[in-house]
């Protein structure tokens, strides 16, 4: 058995395969989230100075609630324009808001104005991850590369969660509060500028223009509601974020009351989560391409948000608490890598950003509910029993949906096999990953008995075919002019030239024929939507027509 590649080799392979566009997109993400984490520290310090802990809680609610409500509507823009333009807009908007806040702090401006500017920055940032999640598939060339890209992004998120607050702490100690906001503004500008003129082919849109307003937002909700697997990921994600909201309260109560670590212990426990997330991201890189489906890893990540709380309720010791909070961070790394990859692969590309925005909004609601209920649970049961009760939520949810997770992995394995088959077709292998995913999702599978016809010469052309197994005979004017095998295609001439079938196709007399079938609309949208695939398609058509023209005429007495 071959030894697993090192993490460094995997990251290097990602860099070589993806090229500059993917690296620039990931750099933008790292800058944006480091800025966000540093801003949270600066804003929390400012709010505490102004009104104590109550002010910190109120400012958090003021920032998060409008962001959660507005983001699904704002995400309609990310499905209507090139998505890197949305990232540029977010970076510049955040920079303007945070830069203005820095000036206000320097000039002694009112707290309300600073909170308002921070809310504007938060609303913009809430749209960042959905737009970035929708952009990543267009920059990748395979499902494995998309998974690796999400792992790398999760690692950057974890590093930002550590580095952003540390930078803010350094600036607070040396330069003052306004410098925190100024540096965050500068990082936001850079996060937008690094993706200006990002080179990639955006997936083609269908014939209908993107709707706007409430009906457009419903597209994101409908995408989740109509697909059982997207709904599954969302439901389990809500269980995880409910636990996450509870943990935001538990980290304070556990550190101060249960373990007696004081206020500094709150930072220690949260740092343990961040450190665990970094370690988890490194370990997750080693899982890419291994056996075990994405859904299974996602379920494990969800469960790891709850199981450590159960153990902590039973063993309330400082070393155990630090280690267990780190395990929570490792679970988060698995969720980021597997969950966002599955969502990107299953949702329709035309609503991808809206789907991610709705997903984020639901998760934000889960955090809020968890944070609001936890004090009541602690008052009712006490801290240790509350830890056990809340800790059961995520693993029980995973256990209840284990069969659905296994079915999701089976669905993805079929999708992977279909993608591999489509990569054998010259006019399809040049398509970017999101379009290949959409075609694989649209495939139908058909069996043709030995000797039976798939279609006849002169029939109307409505479908495109790729051979999974068996042999197909191309028949023109009663003569077999070509024999096709696995991975070869037929049916493209009538679709691309809008004409009747120029030849008939039948299964060979010896073996049945297994076919993957694409309906007319998705085939034409994909192949004609990109210059490379359109050119490749015309080459195939030209070669086929020349071969048909060169076929010998029937001899006298043969069927014509």
Identify the CATH number of the domain in which residue 293 sits.
1.20.1250.20
Question: Are 337 and 266 in a shared domain?
Answer: yes
Identify the CATH number of the domain in which residue 492 sits.
2.60.120.10
Contacts 24+ apart (CB under 8 A), 382-387: 383/250, 383/253, 383/254, 383/257, 383/258, 384/258, 384/313, 384/314, 384/316, 385/313, 386/250, 386/313, 387/250, 387/254, 387/309, 387/310, 387/312, 387/313
Question: Are 259 and 278 in a shared domain?
Answer: yes
The whole-angstrom separation of Cα 61 and Cα 55 is 10
Question: Are 383 and 529 in a shared domain?
Answer: no
Structural domain ending residue among the three candidates 422, 440, 475: 422
Question: Are 528 and 452 in a shared domain?
Answer: yes
pLDDT tens, position by position, 443-490: 889 999 998 999 999 998 889 999 999 999 988 888 888 889 888 889
Q: Is residue 150 part of a domain?
A: no
Mean pLDDT for the chain overall: 82
Q: Is residue 1 part of a domain?
A: no
Structural domain ending residue among the three candidates 376, 400, 422: 422
Question: Are 310 and 401 in a shared domain?
Answer: yes
- Full-model pTM: 0.74
Question: Are 245 and 393 in a shared domain?
Answer: yes
pLDDT tens, position by position, 77-134: 667 778 888 899 999 999 999 999 999 988 887 888 888 898 888 888 888 888 888 8
Report how many domains make up the chain.
Answer: 3
Question: Are 253 and 360 in a shared domain?
Answer: yes
pLDDT band of 207, cuts 50, 70, 90: very low
Question: Are 362 and 467 in a shared domain?
Answer: no
End-to-end CA gap in the chain: 57
Structural domain ending residue among the three candidates 422, 444, 470: 422
Question: Are 430 and 314 in a shared domain?
Answer: no
Question: Are 368 and 471 in a shared domain?
Answer: no
Q: Is residue 156 part of a domain?
A: no
Question: Are 320 and 461 in a shared domain?
Answer: no
Question: Are 307 and 326 in a shared domain?
Answer: yes
Q: Which domain holds residue 536?
A: 425-550
């Amino acid at each position: 058995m071959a030894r697993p590649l090192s993490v460094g080799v995997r990251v290097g392979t990602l860099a070589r395969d993806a090229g500059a566009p993917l690296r620039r997109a990931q750099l933008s993400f790292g800058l944006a989230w480091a800025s966000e984490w540093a801003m949270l520290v600066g804003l929390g310090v400012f709010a505490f100075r102004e009104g104590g802990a109550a002010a910190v809680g109120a400012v958090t609610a003021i920032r998060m609630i409008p962001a959660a409500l507005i983001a699904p509507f704002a995400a309609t823009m990310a499905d209507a324009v090139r998505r890197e333009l949305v990232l540029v807009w977010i970076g510049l908007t955040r920079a303007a808001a945070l830069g203005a806040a820095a000036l206000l702090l320097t000039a002694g401006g009112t707290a309300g104005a600073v909170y308002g500017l921070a809310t504007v920055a938060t609303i913009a940032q809430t749209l960042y991850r959905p737009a970035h999640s929708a952009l990543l598939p267009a920059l990748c060339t395979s499902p494995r590369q998309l998974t690796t890209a999400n792992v790398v992004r999760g690692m950057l998120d974890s590093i930002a969660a550590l580095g952003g607050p540390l930078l803010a702490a350094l600036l607070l100690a040396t330069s003052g509060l306004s410098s925190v906001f100024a540096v965050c503004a500068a990082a936001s500008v850079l996060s937008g500028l690094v993706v200006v003129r990002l080179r990639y082919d955006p997936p083609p849109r269908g014939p209908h223009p993107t709707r706007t307003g409430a009906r457009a937002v419903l597209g994101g909700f409908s995408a989740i509601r109509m697909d059982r697997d997207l709904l599954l990921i969302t439901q389990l994600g809500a269980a995880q974020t409910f636990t996450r909201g509870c943990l935001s309260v538990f980290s304070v109560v556990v550190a101060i009351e249960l373990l007696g670590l004081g206020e500094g212990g709150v930072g220690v426990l949260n740092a343990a989560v961040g450190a665990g997330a970094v370690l988890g991201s490194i370990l997750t890189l080693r899982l890419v391409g291994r056996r075990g489906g994405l859904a299974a890893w996602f379920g494990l990540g969800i469960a790891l948000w709850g199981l450590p709380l159960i153990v902590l309720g039973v063993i309330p010791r400082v070393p155990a608490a630090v280690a267990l909070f780190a395990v929570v961070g490792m679970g988060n790394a698995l969720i980021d890598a597997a969950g966002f990859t599955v969502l990107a692969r299953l949702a329709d590309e035309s609503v991808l950003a809206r789907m991610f925005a709705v997903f984020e909004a639901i998760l934000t609601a889960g955090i809020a509910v968890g944070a609001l209920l936890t004090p009541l649970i602690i008052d009712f049961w006490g801290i240790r029993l509350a830890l056990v009760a809340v800790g059961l939520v995520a693993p029980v949810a995973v256990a209840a949906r284990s069969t659905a997770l296994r079915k999701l992995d089976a669905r993805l394995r079929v999708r992977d096999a279909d993608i591999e088959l489509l990569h054998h077709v010259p006019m399809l292998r040049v398509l970017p990953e999101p379009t290949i995913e959409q075609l694989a999702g649209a495939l139908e599978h058909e069996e043709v008995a030995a000797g039976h016809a798939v279609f006849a010469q002169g029939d109307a052309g409505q479908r495109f075919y790729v051979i999974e197994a068996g042999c197909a005979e191309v028949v023109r004017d009663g003569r077999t002019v070509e024999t096709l095998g696995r991975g070869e295609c037929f049916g493209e001439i009538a679709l691309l030239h809008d004409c009747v079938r120029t030849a008939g196709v039948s299964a060979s007399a010896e073996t049945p024929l297994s076919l993957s079938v694409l309906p007319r609309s998705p085939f034409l949208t994909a192949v004609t939507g990109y210059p490379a695939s359109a050119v490749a398609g015309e080459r195939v058509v030209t070669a086929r027509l020349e071969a048909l023209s060169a076929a010998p005429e029937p001899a006298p007495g043969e069927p014509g």
